Amino acid sequence: MSNFHTGTADSGTSDNTDDDAKDERALPYYSGDVRIEHAALDFLLELLDTPAPSGFEEPAAELVERYAAEWADDIHTDGIGNVHVTVNRGAKHRVLVTGHIDEIGFVVTRIDGKGLLRFEQVGGWDLSIPPGQRVRVVTRDGVLVGTVGKLAPHQIKDRNKSTQLKDLWVDIGAATADEAKALVRIGDPIVIDTKPHMFGNRRIMSRSVDDRIGAFIALEVARRAKGSDVEVIALCATREEIGCIGALPGAYGADPDEAIAIDVTWTSDVPGDHQADADVGKGPVVAFGAATRSRISRELVDIAHDAGIDVQINASGRYTGTDGDVVARAGRGIPVGVVSVPTRYLHSPGELFALEDAEAGIDLIHRWVTRER
């Protein structure tokens, strides 16, 4: 989810009005037949681990291509690097499911006289998060490890001042500027150095959940739809985090009859003024509001109800802040729905979601894609 078009974050109503039923529900709550395991789970974890900030998505794109090569009818990369994975080419209906494979990160803008890397942010960061993090700098000769440096607390006069980009740098252990310049070029991308971690209850914590999980769900929907009478294009879109750039030409090129954009959304199951009404582990979130086609939102909720899949609902009077906003106005206009995976700590290295919500999302979107028309 980009933070460029934040709509009103307030809430819709939860679809789960029966509190007793909710209380009795034991984990795992999702009882459908979609299960992310084995090769699919390995792929997801590797996808989460792959560094690919906006504009530098090729490593993630290549991984997607390898994974889809085993079952897709067609895979192609368009002019700006979106990967289109198609099944059932030529079927009567064509549906686009899209998630973005870019993530937020940084880019080296200057190597200073001491060999420290100055950087700009790629996408929307809370700058209180990077200081002290270990990072990976992706160079043409391989990945370097470094740390985000700032002055020690002893050196800071006003500790209440918020962190600015100019107060931060990346230290790759170089002793001189020449040493750093031999290793790093201006324009090399940077991500936080964390490994995905799966908890015992199948919740996952990682960077880049936003929005590798959306791209993963799109791919799994296409894989499951193979052999149906609907052409499904899973669009793994680029450059969402810098303003929903890639999905616009991606959707234009795919030219579908209708579309679902899959992203992540913030949650209400944390302390504070959370401006949300969706919890991790209570089902995918269906968006209602001004940017989405209400017909599709209703269909998704009805299908979920009939199939016994729990969903949550959010609403926005303006944009959704997802690629759904640009898919809607691509080409001659595309009817679009938005489904989100409730995820804590968005735009941090500890983004946290429940695998079950992703499984329920795949089930729901697959049912919608292959519904009777």
Q: How far apart are the first and last CA of the chain?
A: 30
Cβ closest to another protein, residue 187 vs residue 317: 187
Q: Does 108 contact another protein by CB under 8 A?
A: yes
Pairing type for strands 351-354 and 83-87 reads unpaired
Residue from 68, 116, 242, 300 touching another protein (CB under 8 A): that is: 242
DSSP letter at 155 equals G
Q: Does 53 contact another protein by CB under 8 A?
A: yes
**Beta carbon of residue 164, minimum distance to another protein (angstroms, whole number):** 13
Residue from 249, 281, 349, 361 touching another protein (CB under 8 A): that is: 249
Cβ closest to another protein, residue 261 vs residue 276: 261
Q: Does 55 contact another protein by CB under 8 A?
A: yes
Distance, CA of 188 to chain centre: 22
Q: Does 81 contact another protein by CB under 8 A?
A: yes
Q: Does 50 contact another protein by CB under 8 A?
A: no
> 124-153 in b/e burial notation, b at 16+ Cβ within 10 A?
bbeeebbeebebbbbeeeeebebbbbbeee
Rounded Cα–Cα distance for residues 360 and 351 (Å):
19
Q: Which residue has the tokens 């199948």?
A: 202
Q: Does 248 contact another protein by CB under 8 A?
A: yes
Q: Shortest CA distance to 148 belongs to which of 166, 136, 127, 130?
A: 130
Q: Does 200 contact another protein by CB under 8 A?
A: no
Rounded Cα–Cα distance for residues 221 and 41 (Å):
15
Q: Does 169 contact another protein by CB under 8 A?
A: no
Rounded Cα–Cα distance for residues 121 and 209 (Å):
18
Q: Does 245 contact another protein by CB under 8 A?
A: yes
Cβ closest to another protein, residue 32 vs residue 124: 124
Residue from 9, 40, 45, 80 touching another protein (CB under 8 A): that is: 80
Rounded Cα–Cα distance for residues 140 and 88 (Å):
38
Cβ closest to another protein, residue 142 vs residue 200: 142
Residue from 28, 149, 243, 335 touching another protein (CB under 8 A): that is: 243
Cβ closest to another protein, residue 82 vs residue 314: 82
**Beta carbon of residue 175, minimum distance to another protein (angstroms, whole number):** 20
Contacts of 138 (CB under 8 A, 6+ apart): 51, 56, 59, 188, 189, 190, 191
Number of H helices, E strands in the chain: 9, 17
Q: Does 119 contact another protein by CB under 8 A?
A: yes
Stretch binding another protein (CB under 8 A), from 34-42, 51-59, 215-223, 310-318: 51-59
Rounded Cα–Cα distance for residues 284 and 56 (Å):
29
Q: Does 56 contact another protein by CB under 8 A?
A: yes
Q: Does 304 contact another protein by CB under 8 A?
A: no
Q: Does 187 contact another protein by CB under 8 A?
A: yes
Q: Does 185 contact another protein by CB under 8 A?
A: yes
Q: Does 144 contact another protein by CB under 8 A?
A: no
Map residue 370 onto helix, strand or coil.
Answer: coil
**Phi (first) and psi of residue 97, to 5 degrees:** -120, 130
Q: Does 142 contact another protein by CB under 8 A?
A: no
**Beta carbon of residue 253, minimum distance to another protein (angstroms, whole number):** 4
Stretch binding another protein (CB under 8 A), from 38-46, 75-83, 167-175, 227-235: 75-83
Q: Does 186 contact another protein by CB under 8 A?
A: yes
Rounded Cα–Cα distance for residues 170 and 149 (Å):
6
The verdict on whether omega for the bond into residue 28 sits within 30 degrees of 0, i.e. cis, is yes
Residue from 68, 101, 107, 278 touching another protein (CB under 8 A): that is: 107
Rounded Cα–Cα distance for residues 107 and 116 (Å):
13
Interacting residue ranges for another protein, rule: CB under 8 A: 53-56, 58, 78-82, 102, 106-110, 119-123, 185-188, 239, 241-243, 245-246, 248-250, 252-253
